[in-house]
Amino acid sequence: MSTMASENQYDPKASEPKWQRFWDDEGVFRFNPDEPGEIYSVDTPPPTVSGKIHIGHCFSYSHQDFIVRFKRMRGFNVFYPFGTDDNGIPTERLIEREKKVRARDMGRQEFVELCQKTLAEELRPKYVADWKRIGMSCDWTIFYTTINEHCRRISQRSFIDLYRMGREYRKDAPTMWCPECQTGISQVECQDKELESSFNDIVFNVDGKDLTIATTRPELLPACVAIFYHPSDERYNRYEGKMAKVPLFNFEVPILADERADPEKGTGIVMCCTFGDQMDMEWQKARSLPIKVAIAGDGRMTEVSGKYAGLKVREARSQIIEDLKAAGLLTGQKSIRHVVNVHERCGTEIEFLKSKQWFIKYLDLKDEMLEWGRQLNWYPDHMRHRFEHWVAGLQWDWLISRQRYFGVPFPVWYCAKCDEVILAREEDLPVDPLTDKPPVDKCPKCGHNEFVPERDILDTWATSSLTPKLCTELYKDHPVFKRLYPMSLRPQAHDIITFWLFNTVVKSRMHDRMNPWKDVMISGHAQDPHGRKMSKSKGNVVDPYEVLKKYSADSLRFWAAGCKLGDDLPFSEKDLVTGEKFITKIWNASRFAFMHLSDYDGGEGKLEVADRWLFTKLSKIIEASTDAFERYEYSRTKAEIEKFFWQTYCDYYLEIVKERLYKPDLRGAESRKAAQYTIYNSLLTIVKMMAPIMPHITEELYQTHFKGRERTKSVHNTKWPEPFKKYADEEAEKAGDLLVEALAQVRKFKSDGKMSLVKELEGIAIAANVENTKLLKLVEQDLKGTGKIKAVEYRTAEGDGVKIDFGA
Ligand SMILES: [Zn+2]
Ligand SMILES: [Zn+2]
């Protein structure tokens, strides 16, 4: 349609940016802190700055925007901020990729500066503009980035508060570690991934005899500290108290019985290696086994692995297997697919590494967590199970320190002598312990005067779990502050319930003993056209920039409105085409309507049955849609309006009133005015109800046709429609429905007979029961005028409905 752009055509490529600028310039979405009305506050997800928005963003952010625009029209004082999440591993990786550098090669200070500069000058402004481009109705002046001074201050204050509450501790212990990112990570960052591997039968030696042990991780042989079997396993009972010699490495380890050994797995006897997995760590603790670390933080083998030292884990694995083969110590090998833990950011297999890390203590709160989850209103309700499932599986306290460069620093120094923790003063926040001095001259515990700064940064989720504070505290010095928190709504996609939603609830409960919001709305995923997950590796990713180029933001949103909240939705080009058709149709219908409204004076005229029929039907849709929207079911509203507009309004009502509009001398001036009144008000209602879903075309129509009379500066600031109660008329509704039924038969008769629709018919006979005949007589004029029928006669029949005899 863009090729034929003209005055008579709507061109979304020109119009959409035009209205987005208008909304900005006119402050249409501006939150007014001084307005007394009820506040609807939204904890907008701050998207991770990634350079480009993806189709999943367009999908779930559209859903929340539908709700927000609806609430705004319902009269709420809407607080809808926007933030960007731009620190931590994802941002570091983005900058490394974009600038072709490696943080570790660059040095910390230089890399942090590069990150700040690239974000501020290149990535962030372009990124934010993309979010505007999909029609988000945020107040862009309520803006934060999770790395700015405001957010660093709040994040560090949160750390200090939780430390004082006794909710944080630092511990030197084995933790989950990503050798690629070279940092400790938390449980939520682990993902299950199925990988090809092999079970290797490896020969140990006990008293000169072979003992075969199966393992998937032969590279851990140098870290082996014991062998375990189940005490009831008669195959191995006789080894009690003996020592086994580890192949290739030739040192001895004890053979021990333990209930936790699984006789069904592999050969039923297992090696326990330092930090091999969680079981190994439990055994290490429970049996006071020695610690032999074979894998270093960079994912390479350590000195204890002898000639394999310096190799990467995978290289060491295959080298050791080769050497075992050569020595005749590998008696079997079976390919398996098994599930391993990988880091969700980089897909690297997770290792365990002993290191000093900070944790938030919360494993003791599992019962409370479940209760917190129950106190939220979940839309859809079943999403609560994901929260509960996560809580049930929680095994680790929250590891919040990261051995990275770009993020919020810990506001912490340590006494160089006694390791006492020295916290920053609140009034000094935000601080960077690497460049700022601690607030004391002497250690309060031992009096020593040298301090070591904490070099780690906070987990990015430790900051983004504070978003309700990050945005509302922008109004900290205003009286409205107290009314902003807890917030009304947290919208988000389901994949980060365990990351973001859960962590935000935890922080809010710890800090304020309340949930951060009342409602949570959870979107599903956008899928590829075949209903599969989109991924770069599958090559099935739909690029929203292409979609916007070919169609429009309105059509993209129209597609996104096509499924129930929480459901996954395959990308469907057909739906975008349907969206474009809707735009063209409502554009044309409005032009037609207003051709006949140039002399309209706003009066009601004398409403006829067809007008009352339309208002009664429309009122029912307003009621149902409002109710649906209140339950976050925007898809129902979209479907109802779409159907009403195409079928009831365009196919019938506009056709039925043509005679009244074109021939006022025949039907009377008051009848014409009533038609104008009905056209105007029903079209305005349709435009308003579609405004949350398709904000641009509806703004265009409002500004072009309605603003002169309505005055409100934007359709998005108008009031959501109320049902037209005073026109409710059941009899008119029935009569109108019969009229539609009769007209449909007339149309079918004409098209079957290859006649023009305006071809005049001499006469028809309608068979209907007494009641329906009475109703049809009320709309006989409309039937004749619309169907181009000279004469109508009636025959009494049984049953419901209408049957027309065209041979009469
Ligand atoms: Zn990683
Ligand atoms: Zn000290």
Cα(184) to ligand 1 centroid in Å equals 9
Which residues are CB-contacts of 325 (< 8 A; sequence separation ≥ 6)?
none
Residue 70 vs residues 76, 379, 385, 628, 706: alpha-carbon distances, Å: 9, 16, 28, 11, 19
Cα(443) to ligand 2 centroid in Å equals 5
- Ligand with minimal distance to 440 CA: 2
Tokens of 755: 């006649």
The model's pLDDT over 534-547, given as tens digits with 9 standing for 90+, comes to 988 888 899 999 99
Ramachandran assignment for 265, one of left (phi > 0), alpha (psi -120 to 50 degrees), beta (any other): beta
Tokens of 525: 């995923």
State which residues have CB under 5 angstroms from ligand 2, the bound ion.
415, 417-418, 420, 443, 445-446, 448
Tokens of 266: 């592999």
Placement of tokens 């899928």 in the chain: 527
Cα(422) to ligand 2 centroid in Å equals 9
Tokens of 53: 């928005």
How far apart CA 570 and CA 526 sit, in angstroms, is 6
Question: CA nearest 204: which of 182, 180, 226?
Answer: 226
Cα(298) to ligand 1 centroid in Å equals 11
Cα(297) to ligand 1 centroid in Å equals 12
Cα(449) to ligand 2 centroid in Å equals 8
Cα(412) to ligand 2 centroid in Å equals 14
Question: CA nearest 139: which of 19, 26, 15, 18?
Answer: 26
- Ligand with minimal distance to 344 CA: 1
Percent helix, percent strand, percent coil in the chain, to nearest 5? 45, 20, 35
Structural contact between residues 96 and 103, judged by C-beta atoms closer than 8 angstroms: yes
Cα(426) to ligand 2 centroid in Å equals 21
Cα(442) to ligand 2 centroid in Å equals 8
Cα(56) to ligand 1 centroid in Å equals 23
Neighbours of 400 (CB within 10 A): 25
Which residues are CB-contacts of 404 (< 8 A; sequence separation ≥ 6)?
88, 89, 92, 103, 181, 183, 456, 457
Q: At what angle do helices 730-752 and 609-630 cross, to 10 degrees?
A: 100
Please state whether the peptide bond connecting residue 46 to the residue before it is cis, i.e. omega within 30 degrees of 0. Answer: no
Residue type, 15: S
Q: At what angle do helices 12-26 and 124-133 cross, to 10 degrees?
A: 110
Please state whether the peptide bond connecting residue 380 to the residue before it is cis, i.e. omega within 30 degrees of 0. Answer: yes
Cα(126) to ligand 2 centroid in Å equals 48
Neighbours of 600 (CB within 10 A): 18
The gap from C-alpha 634 to its chain's centroid, in whole angstroms, comes to: 16
Pairing of the two strands 517-523 and 487-493: parallel
How far apart CA 228 and CA 237 sit, in angstroms, is 11
Cα(402) to ligand 2 centroid in Å equals 25
DSSP per-residue string spanning 435-461: TSPPS-SS-TTT----EEE---EE-HH
Cα(418) to ligand 2 centroid in Å equals 4
Predicted pLDDT of residue 127 = 93
Which residues are CB-contacts of 417 (< 8 A; sequence separation ≥ 6)?
443, 446, 448, 450
- Ligand with minimal distance to 191 CA: 1
How far apart CA 590 and CA 126 sit, in angstroms, is 35
How far apart CA 81 and CA 471 sit, in angstroms, is 7
Strands of 691-786, DSSP E: 761-768
Cα(93) to ligand 1 centroid in Å equals 10
> Along the chain (808 residues), what's the average pLDDT of each consecutive run of 10 residues?
55 96 97 95 94 91 98 98 92 92 90 93 92 96 96 98 98 91 90 90 94 94 95 91 95 94 88 91 89 92 95 94 95 91 91 93 97 98 96 94 95 97 97 96 97 96 97 97 97 93 98 98 94 87 93 97 95 95 97 94 95 98 96 96 97 96 91 97 98 98 96 98 96 97 97 94 95 97 96 93 87
Phi and psi dihedrals of 699, rounded to 5? -65, -40
Cα(432) to ligand 1 centroid in Å equals 25
Ramachandran assignment for 207, one of left (phi > 0), alpha (psi -120 to 50 degrees), beta (any other): left
Cα(191) to ligand 1 centroid in Å equals 11
Predicted pLDDT of residue 801 = 87
Question: CA nearest 387: which of 203, 188, 210?
Answer: 188
Tokens of 384: 């609560």
Cα(178) to ligand 1 centroid in Å equals 5
Which residues are CB-contacts of 106 (< 8 A; sequence separation ≥ 6)?
114
Cα(87) to ligand 1 centroid in Å equals 15
- Ligand with minimal distance to 297 CA: 1
Tokens of 772: 């329906």
Cα(294) to ligand 1 centroid in Å equals 19
The radius of gyration computed from the CA coordinates of the chain, to the nearest angstrom, equals: 35
How far apart CA 745 and CA 743 sit, in angstroms, is 5
Cα(368) to ligand 2 centroid in Å equals 37
Cα(439) to ligand 2 centroid in Å equals 14
Give the DSSP H or E segment for 243. strand 243-245
Cα(457) to ligand 2 centroid in Å equals 23
Residues in the chain: 808
41 by Cβ neighbours in 10 Å (0-12 / 13-18 / 19+) ranks as: buried
Cα(413) to ligand 2 centroid in Å equals 11
Placement of tokens 């990150």 in the chain: 115
> What are the residue ranges of helices labelled H in 691-729?
695-701, 707-710
Cα(539) to ligand 1 centroid in Å equals 23
Which residues are CB-contacts of 61 (< 8 A; sequence separation ≥ 6)?
45, 47, 131, 134, 136
Placement of tokens 């974009």 in the chain: 98
Cα(506) to ligand 1 centroid in Å equals 25
Predicted pLDDT of residue 777 = 97
How far apart CA 428 and CA 720 sit, in angstroms, is 48
How far apart CA 691 and CA 697 sit, in angstroms, is 8
Phi and psi dihedrals of 704, rounded to 5? -75, -45
Q: Which residues pair with 775 in a beta bridge?
A: none
Cα(346) to ligand 1 centroid in Å equals 4
How far apart CA 771 and CA 59 sit, in angstroms, is 49
Neighbours of 580 (CB within 10 A): 18
Structural contact between residues 379 and 425, judged by C-beta atoms closer than 8 angstroms: no
Predicted pLDDT of residue 808 = 60
For 26-32, which contacts have Cβ atoms below 8 Å and span 24 or more sequence positions? 26/713, 26/714, 28/137, 28/713, 28/714, 28/716, 28/717, 29/72, 29/78, 29/80, 29/137, 29/138, 29/139, 29/140, 29/716, 30/139, 30/141, 31/77, 31/78, 31/79, 31/80, 31/139, 31/142, 32/77
